[in-house]
Amino acid sequence: MSTLLEMHDISKHFTGVQALADVNFNVERGEVHALVGHNGAGKSTLIKILTGAYERDSGDIKIDGEPVTFANPGAAQTAGVGAIYQEVNLIPFLSAPENIFLGREPRGRFRRVDWKAMRREAGKLLDDFGVKCDLEAPVLRLGVATQQMVALARLVSLNAKLVVMDEPTSSLDEAEVRVLFAVIRRLRERGVGLIYVSHRMDENFALADRITVLRGGKLVRTLPVGETDPVEIIALMLGRKVEDVRASGVTAFSEAYVHLKHGAVLDVEHLSRGKMPDDVSLTVNRGEIVGLAGLLGSGRTELARTIFGADAASGGAVKLNGHPVKNHSPHAAVAAGMGLVSEDRKVDGIIPALSVADNIMLAALPLFARFGVLDKQRQRAMVDEMIERLDIKTPTARTPVKNLSGGNQQKVILARWLCRRPAFLILDEPTRGVDVGAKLEIQRLISELAREGGMGILMISSELEEVIEGSDRVAVMKDGRKLGEFVRGEATEERVMKAISEG
């Protein structure tokens, strides 16, 4: 292999924060190079400098041995460097072919767009990835995995030689992940260099040739995959000794804990919304964590949204503390003592332009008003308490929440609901897209809320290990139906997957 990308002594400073300090990073042709580190370690900043979204303060970048400086992401794409992010950057109301060839549409007579040629070429690109989809439908109607393939096809059509993938599997099911991995390996065989960013260690070790660890904006170490293991990489990310990480494990839920349960806080009786969910009954007790297991598309999120009233039920009932939730809606659910941390914090969680304090107080403002006037002093006291309790790392409470790392944004959303002291909390993918350290903190917090606070929690996670280790009971779903339940100690990955396959 020969060197495709060289980044030397890259530094970047934001107000009050040294995001990168003299970082060196390189990628060979036909190599998958994993880039790992805490949220806030500098991964995103390094990628944005590479792709032209940020201007570096110092350092040099070379592609194929030639110095480059990209004024914007478009210039980077023209040079063969592109990125696919967790939130896919497509125009939702355009079709897959229109997104792939945006600004480069094939032309026929009189410079008119040749729609047949565009669909034909788009079909060939997607066929090469093993993707079949409606080429005339707007991409918003396509699944997340297909949208990612459309974004990747666009880069390939631009003759990309270096592709960055940032948490590409966070919203994919197992079958879709296999397709993506096959595409990545195909690109590697063609000599394309790939930078792979994922918090999932199994993926990094399955795909990558080398792994580079960043911490606090600095390069910690670069290691060939064959010369390390996940525990060593996690220890480097956390700045801890390997033997300490190996002894304690990397899943906070694996620590022993005992819940005191005092009767049902949530009763779901024959709840339906068409076929997603379909006649589901479920109980969550006080001080209990119930996990929902199932593949993507099994109806887990749809059940959560219907319980919360975000989607209207077609049948059944939801009771909180033995009382039906009347006029079932998010407003009624919140008033009854329910909260929901949704799976997509960017879309349904944070309000990026508002401060950390404003985001924390969003759901609790009515509790801090008297005769229509907000008590600013009590608000500030509550915000300070939540920042300290959840260890939210932010320069100040007035910092825009968009400036925080993903793990700290997730903590802000949790703090929002804790301000209301809910009796029951739904957590949909609470640790998605956060680093190992933040993941441990969030997992411990979930356990504490149930164990010490007596809160009932319904937890959804695509990581089966997290569901099994973090739940007192695991309810298994498929095609909108609940197949059954396993109590803590009986739930194993093999039993859950067998229940799904046979359900």
Structure tokens at 44: 């995103």
The continuous run of DSSP H or E covering 418 comes out as helix 406-418
Asked which of 69-83, 354-368, 473-487 is least confident by mean pLDDT, the reply is: 354-368
Angle value at C-alpha 317, between 313 and 322, nearest 5 degrees: 145
Phi, psi of 258 (to 5 degrees): -125, 130
Structure tokens at 480: 């909108």
* Strands (DSSP E) found in 180-314: 193-197, 210-215, 218-224, 264-272, 280-285, 289-293
User: Mind listing the pLDDT tens digit for each residue in 442-465?
Assistant: 888 888 888 777 889 999 988 888
Residue 486 is predicted with a pLDDT of 87
How far is the C-alpha of 186 from the C-alpha of 275, rounded, in Å?
37
Peptide bond between residue 106 and the one before it cis (omega within 30 degrees of 0): no
Which CATH number is correct for 260-337+422-503, 3.40.140.10, 3.40.50.300, 3.30.565.10, 3.40.640.10? 3.40.50.300
> Which pLDDT band, with edges at 50, 70 and 90, does 250 fall under?
low
pLDDT of 259 > 80? The answer is no
**pLDDT over 90 percentage in the chain:** 24
Residue 37 is predicted with a pLDDT of 85
Q: What is the DSSP letter of 254?
A: G
- 401 contacts 351 by C-beta, under 8 angstroms: yes
Domain ranges of the chain: 3-246, 260-337+422-503, 346-421
Between helix 436-451 and helix 406-418 the angle, nearest 10°, is 20
How far is the C-alpha of 468 from the C-alpha of 474, rounded, in Å?
7
3-246 and 260-337+422-503 have identical folds: yes
Residue 128 is predicted with a pLDDT of 77
- 431 contacts 452 by C-beta, under 8 angstroms: no
Higher-confidence position of 277 and 389:
277
Residue 256 is predicted with a pLDDT of 34
**pLDDT over 70 percentage in the chain:** 94
Structure tokens at 294: 């199932």
> Which pLDDT band, with edges at 50, 70 and 90, does 6 fall under?
very high
Residue 196 is predicted with a pLDDT of 95
Contacts for 31 with CB less than 8 Å, ≥ 6 apart: 1, 4, 188, 193, 194, 209, 210
Mean pLDDT, the chain, integer: 84
Contacts for 252 with CB less than 8 Å, ≥ 6 apart: 439, 440, 441, 443, 444, 447
User: Mind listing the pLDDT tens digit for each residue in 297-352?
Assistant: 788 989 999 999 988 899 999 998 888 887 788 888 888 889 888 877 777 778 88
Query: What separation in angstroms does the CA of 117 have from each of 79, 112, 128?
Result: 25, 12, 17
Has domain 3-246 been given CATH number 1.10.1370.40? no
